[in-house]
Structure 1
Amino acid sequence: MKKLIAALALSVAFTLPAMAEFKLDSRYTDADGDLVADIPTDVSQQVDPDTLVFAYTPVEDPAVYAEVWQGFLDHLAEKTGKKVQFFPVQSNAAQIEAMRAGRLHVAGFNTGGNPIAVACAGFRPFAMMASKEGAFGYEMEIVTYPDSGIEKVEDLKGKQLAFTSETSNSGFKAPSAILESEYNLVANTDFTPVFSGKHDNSILGVANKDYPAAAVANSVLNRMVARDVVKKDQLVSIYKSQTFPTTGYGVAHNLAPELQEKIKDAFFTFNWEGSKLLEEFKTSEPPQEAFIPITFKENWAVIRQIDEATGVSYACQ
């Protein structure tokens, strides 16, 4: 991973201005230095809603994931004594804005969107899916379809490459930097970037030959193959990255402290056995079959380094 970061930093050192280090928006404070927004000490600024709104990172078919998450949401309701509503967000930007505006209380933000959610929306991540042994992570893969004429990364030159969104780590930031640093392929010069909005869209787009190639998270790809949404033989991988942390789960910073603790307890006491959550996420590699505690400061350090290397700004709109 250190080799990757060095390559990313080198690739942009001569083309991008130095970026300020990660910091929170001015509306938040971080007195303890853990890089996430503190819970307001003024009780009048804390919120304790009757209904908790939960959102999972944007996917092609939110209705599928509403059903997948229902068992967990029932457990969350039991642990907190609150009604819980699933919120089907359509984009990373919409998810971040919903939390920033106070309409979203509990969420899973994708790997690349986590730092922006922390900086701009007061997101406090504390959990991540992992195997029972604590193994976690996913890789970015660049995929094409059989007989596309793209057999290696260098063959992307002069062609179209689908990304997901500019906030995505595996769907944009990491592949952009890797293509430039390792293969001297620059977007809009050597290949044409397009944005599908979601990993699901990119994968389906390549499988259906709408895009010649796409950069995607293989955790999403593996689950779509397991659900028979796409066939394994519809896709060919031409690049696989090192491992990144996966979706981070957490809460809005201004929820009452007691409520935040109850929400954390719900994550760490959820029984995965026989659940639809396990059925969906066990197909990842490594399998995702438990929630483990994480810290944004430690577990997302590599993603913040990639952000810095690729010139990401945390300025909030």
Structure 2
Amino acid sequence: MPDSWRHVGRLPRTLLAAALIGVTLIATGLLKPARAQTPTVLRVSVLPVGSPVELSRRYAPLGRYLEQALDRKIEWTQSADYEASVEALVNGTIDLAMLGGFTLVQAQMRSGGKIIPLVQRDKDANYRSMFITPVDSGIRRLEDLKGRSLSFGPRSSTSGHLMPRAFLLAAKIDPEKDLRQVAYASGHDATVAAVVAGKVDAGVLHVYAWEKLVAAGRVDTSTLRVFYTSPPFSDTNWSVHADMPAATRKAITAAFLRIDGSTPEEQEILALQEATKFVPTRVENYQRIRAVAESAGLLK
């Protein structure tokens, strides 16, 4: 595992106190904000999906590319959970973060609108949630879930919880009132496992996770089937804090957009990222997610 990979969790009280001292020093002019300086290290966080070994394998080529393109060292971090990713970016312990659509909205709210999405994979603009169930469950549509059990993904997952909840509400199904049981899985794989094991009658995950599991032979489509596929929405993105110098933001964006598969190194990056290219994104692309989160009372 590369030395530049580390683990980040929630900020302990001692670090919070130190941060408050730092704010005081900044206010008195004794210390300049770290974001205002041009760093020699770019601290990058990815979504907590997969083991450290798997994440290192998946992101090492991208890290090498960014180090060369930006002329600075890349220090990778794996946040403990979705909330820790938000906290780290908002508090400045990381510089560039891969966020889900919902976690971007959460970060926007907690930072007073200072988190800026820069780029995303081309397919991230067309995420869909898929509801799955055993072939013999009798569930054919969302309305059939009434009185049954369902597993969402993690609570802060856009495609595994937030948007599926919105689609259920649109079908006049209140999960807490109309379902017999609501569960939350640790990840998309765990959602599928819960359905296969008969722990729940149905589960929901994003389309790319489902397709990947099917392609890898980890899902038996003779026993599981998709009974609802949602409309598309924007999801995963690479975001920074607005305090990052504009020139640095521009350089990061340009570096991602230049990845077109024209070299073997870039082909490897795109293959590992399961993308054909990266495209620009902006805050406005996530307004629907924000509206859904607000209406569901999930923004705190």
Shorter-chain TM-score category? 0.7 to 0.9
Residues 1:114 and 1:187: Cα distance change in structure 2 (over 3 Å): same
Higher RCO structure (Cα 8 Å, ≥6 apart): 1
Q: Which has the larger radius of gyration?
A: 2
Partner of 2:71: 81
Give SS of 2:186's match.
Answer: coil
**Unaligned regions of 5+ residues in structure 1, if any?**
1-41, 283-287
In the TM superposition, 1:1-317 aligns within 5 A as: 44-45=32-33, 46-121=36-111, 122-130=114-122, 136-182=125-171, 184-191=172-179, 192-272=181-261, 274=264, 275-282=267-274, 288-297=275-284, 299-313=285-299, 315=300
For 1:224 and 1:86, locate their aligned partners in 2 and report how far apart those are by CA, in whole Å.
26
* 1:216 CA drift (Å): 1.4
**Counterpart residue type for residue 50 of structure 1:** T
For 2:80 and 2:217, locate their aligned partners in 1 and report how far apart those are by CA, in whole Å.
22
For 2:53 and 2:296, locate their aligned partners in 1 and report how far apart those are by CA, in whole Å.
34
> Are 2:253 and 2:280, in contact at CA under 8 Å, matched by a contact in 1?
no
Give SS of 1:44's match.
Answer: coil
Residues 1:62 and 1:226: Cα distance change in structure 2 (over 3 Å): farther
> Are 2:44 and 2:94, in contact at CA under 8 Å, matched by a contact in 1?
yes
Q: TM-score, normalised by structure 2?
A: 0.77
Give SS of 2:166's match.
Answer: helix
Q: Which has the higher helix share?
A: 2
Q: Per-residue displacement from partner, 1:255-314 (whole Å, max 9, x unpaired)?
A: 3333222222221112435534432454xxxxx3111112112x112222322332333x
For 2:223 and 2:56, locate their aligned partners in 1 and report how far apart those are by CA, in whole Å.
27
For 2:295 and 2:105, locate their aligned partners in 1 and report how far apart those are by CA, in whole Å.
14
Residue identity over aligned pairs, in percent, reads 22
**Counterpart residue type for residue 125 of structure 1:** P
For 2:32 and 2:128, locate their aligned partners in 1 and report how far apart those are by CA, in whole Å.
43
Q: Per-residue displacement from partner, 1:11-38 (whole Å, max 9, x unpaired)?
A: xxxxxxxxxxxxxxxxxxxxxxxxxxxx
Number of residue pairs matched by the alignment: 263
Give SS of 1:244's match.
Answer: coil
* 1:231 CA drift (Å): 4.2
> Are 2:120 and 2:236, in contact at CA under 8 Å, matched by a contact in 1?
yes
**Structure 1 vs Structure 2 CA RMSD:** 2.6
> Are 1:164 and 1:202, in contact at CA under 8 Å, matched by a contact in 2?
yes
Q: TM-score, normalised by structure 1?
A: 0.73
> Are 2:188 and 2:209, in contact at CA under 8 Å, matched by a contact in 1?
yes
**Unaligned regions of 5+ residues in structure 2, if any?**
1-28
For 1:48 and 1:74, locate their aligned partners in 2 and report how far apart those are by CA, in whole Å.
19
Give SS of 2:183's match.
Answer: strand
